[in-house]
Amino acid sequence: MTEALNAQTLFSGVVKAEGADALNEANLTAWMQDNVAGFEGPIEVFKFAGGQSNPTYRINAKSGSYVLRRKPFGQLLPSAHAVDREFKVINGLYPTGFPVARPYGLCTDESVIGSWFYIMAMVEGRTIWDGAMPGATPEFRRQTYFAMIDTLAALHNTDVAAAGLSDYGKPGNYFGRQVDRWTKQYRLSETEHMPVMERLIEWLPATLPEQTRTSVVHGDYRIDNMIFAADAPKVVAVLDWELSTLGDPLADFTYVAMAWVTDNAGRSGVQDLDRKALGIPELDEAVERYCQATGRDGVPDMNWYFAYNFFRLAGIIQGIKKRVIDGTANSAHAKEMSERVSPLAEAAWAFAVKAGA
């Protein structure tokens, strides 16, 4: 399968960890020797090309391959880049059989590599960056999308107490707390006055939907944040738990549903694709499948949720924009991403208007 120079090629693979990305390999080897069951060095360290927030590395060792996720170096916004929370949720979910990488250990001693980090198993498989899934058959695409929805339903059906995650977030008022959180994060990284963000900051907290269920919420659940089996439409690991907490499962479902209201542009959107020809289910089919798996009789009007999700994305990208300006952004793609704040805010407001703003 040949790929154009798109997300699949830009974000796939690893590069040698050098310069500002380099880790202290002697310290890391010693820590893994003491904390990772079955570990045997020496190690070789590579950095994954994809991803934006928490730098992620592949560690090749005599005993096998591992993944290291660390906080970025430098000044960070409060509550951002919480690798300890990522580790806690993976550690809780792994024994339940939910598809996450096996967790090995968390290090909160900054003297080892310069920041907190954790180690988990390397899960081999495919990452799908492009929601159009070039080269796949229509039936394979269809089953892949259903696997993504089924896995999300399995997460939302997980017994929070049995997974040891009862204290992983506050009960109730999830959207109220999230709107407040992303407003604060936006304010901390604000670089210019944006009237459309001001309107959203006023409108969202005044129109919060009722929360009827609480579950583990992934917070960034989309097709490129999971690893699929190499040759089957099956999710073998869900990745990037940085934004996870206890909350309203509709936050996750409406976030993944945003693919259907977002153009593709080589990423996860499917709005402008010929979905029927490609075999990609329509949004109402995804809704029906999710509701069936989670015992719901339907989902509310999604326009408010879309407005919230686009607002939240604008807040996240604004954080990246500030890091670009400050010179601490982690990725070569950060500058390009930082120009997306305004379009995301405009999209949020367009859905707010549909929801009655």
Write the pLDDT tens digit of every residue in 158-168. 999 999 999 99
pLDDT of residue 16: 78
CATH class of this structure's domain 138-354 = alpha beta
pLDDT of residue 9: 43
pLDDT of residue 322: 83
pLDDT of residue 332: 65
Residue ranges of the chain with pLDDT lower than 70?
Answer: 1-12, 50-53, 73-81, 329-334
Domain with CATH 3.30.200.20 in the chain: 7-121
Residue at token pair 């738990």: 241
pLDDT of residue 75: 60
Provide the mean pLDDT of the chain. Answer: 90
pLDDT of residue 330: 65
pLDDT of residue 108: 94
Is 0.85 topped by the overall pTM? yes
pLDDT of residue 35: 97
Domain with CATH 3.90.1200.10 in the chain: 138-354
43-48 sheet: strands from edge to edge: 14-16, 43-48, 56-61, 64-70, 117-121, 103-107
Write the pLDDT tens digit of every residue in 80-126. 568 999 999 999 999 999 999 999 999 999 999 998 999 999 999 99
Any idea which fold 7-121 has? Answer: Phosphorylase Kinase; domain 1 (3.30.200)
Tokens of 297: 């009789």
Contact 27, 38 (CB under 8 A): no
pLDDT of residue 171: 80
pLDDT of residue 79: 56
